[in-house]
Amino acid sequence: MATALIWQDDGIRYDFGRDHPLKPLRVELTVGLIRATGLTERPGVEVLPRAPFGEDDVLRLHTRDYVEAVKRQSARPDPRGDPAYGLGLGDNPVFPGMHEASLEVCGATVAAAEAVWSGRAIHAFNPAGGLHHAMPDHASGFCIYDDPALAIDWLLRHGARRVAYVDVDTHHGDGVQAMFYDDPRVLTLSLHESGRYLFPGTGFAHEIGEGDARGTALNVALPPYTPGEVWLGAFDEVVPAAIDAFAPDVLVTQLGCDTHVTDPLAHLALTTDDYVAIAERLHHLAHASTAKGRWVATGGGGYRIATVVPRAWTIHFAEMVGATLPAEVPWGWLHDAEQAAMERPPSEFLDGPVRLAGDRIEGVRRETDAAVEELKRAAFDLLGRHT
C-alpha cells in the first residue's frame, strides 16, 4: 500500500513576504526532515509532482469576480490591494504571481486526491496545502484559494459518493464548511479553539449545515488552554461515531499544528506527543471506515517555523507510511534548520506532557464536555439520517 508525498523541489511560490507568519520555510524544513529520517526511501513511498490546475478548475468553487481580482493583484500588485475581496489586508497582502502560486497549492492537493482515488497510493500528503479559510468570493486568514475544498470537489466529480473532511487546525475550518454547507455528500468536522476567543469567530455547535445537508457540519469549539488529554477525549467522543454514521468513501484531513502550546497565534496546549496520538487515530479511522484506507492529508496552520511544524508533520507522515521515528531528530537536519530559521529546534521528536494546574484542567474539561454534548444534541440525530 503506497504512500505519496506531493512535493517538487522548485520551491513554494505562495509567499506573503518576510514578515508574514505563513512562511514557505516551514514546509521546506518539513520535507527536509521527512527526507532526513529516511521516510521517502522506504518501500512504497513515492514523491509525486502537483497536478495541472487552471482557472476553469478554481472557478468551480470561487466566483469569477473574485478570481479576476486575484489575477489583477497578481499581475500588478497594489499595496492597498482590493479590500472588497479580502486582498491587501494584514492577513492577505498581495504579491506578484499570487494567482499562479495559489493554483499550484491547489494542484498539489488535487494530486494527492488523484493518487488516492486512482489507487496509486492509499495515503497522500501535501504539506503545502490546507488553506481552509478561503471563501468563494474573498480571501481570508492567509488563504487565497481553498485547496482542501477544491480537492473534495475533484473527488466528488470523479466518483466519490461521500467525502469526510476532518480539520484539526486550531482555527475553525470555515471556508471548507461554507463551500459544502448545503451539500449532503460532504461531512465537515472541525475541532478548534472556540470562536469566542479566536479568528475566525465561527465554528459553534449550532452550525450544522442547511437543507438536505443538516447534520453534516460538525464543530467542537474548545476553550483556551485545552491540553492534549482533553482534546483527544473530545475527538474520541465525536469523530469515530460521526465517520461511522456518515460512511465516507475517502477521508480528507487538514493537519494544522497551531494547536501546539508554544504557537504564537493561538491558545491551545497540545504537544508533539499529542500529534502522535492524533495521527494514529486518523490512520485507524481511514482503515476502519468505509473509506477503506483512502486518506488525503494537507498541512495547514502552524507558526513555530522550525521548532514545531517540521516535527509535527513528519510525525503525521511517518504514521501514514507505517514507520517508527527515532527518538532524536537527525543532527544534520537540526544544524541546517537552525541556520535557515535562526532558531534552534528541539533535539527530540517528542516534547513530553504539558503541566497545567489541576483546577485549570478541570475547568477546561467541563467546558469541553459541554461543547461536545451541545454538538451531539444539535446534530447527531440529523447525521444518522444521512446513512
Dihedrals φ, ψ of 291, to 5°? -65, -20
Say how far apart CA 132 and CA 149 lie, in whole Å. 8
Q: At 274, which amino acid appears?
A: D
On whether the CB atoms of residues 322 and 286 are closer than 8 A, the answer is: no
Nearest to 246 by CA among 215, 221, 219: 215
- Reading the block at residue 200, the C-alpha cell is 475566525
Alpha-carbon dihedral 86, 92, 94, 97, rounded to 10 degrees: -110
Selecting among 99, 123, 132, 133, the annotated active-site residue is 133
Angle subtended by helix axes 272-288 and 228-246, to nearest 10: 10
| Nearest Cα residue to 311 out of 351, 371, 265 | 351
What's the grid cell of residue 67? 478570481
Q: Residue-wise over 333-359: b if at least 16 C-beta within 10 A, else e?
A: bbebbeeebeeebeeebbbeebebeee
- Identify whether 133 is a catalytic site residue: yes
Cβ distance 208 to 251 under 8 Å?
no
**Alpha helices per DSSP H over the chain:** 24-36, 55-58, 64-75, 98-118, 147-157, 174-179, 228-246, 272-288, 309-321, 331-341, 358-375, 381-384
Q: How far apart are CA 27 and CA 279, in angstroms?
A: 18
Residues annotated as catalytic are: 133
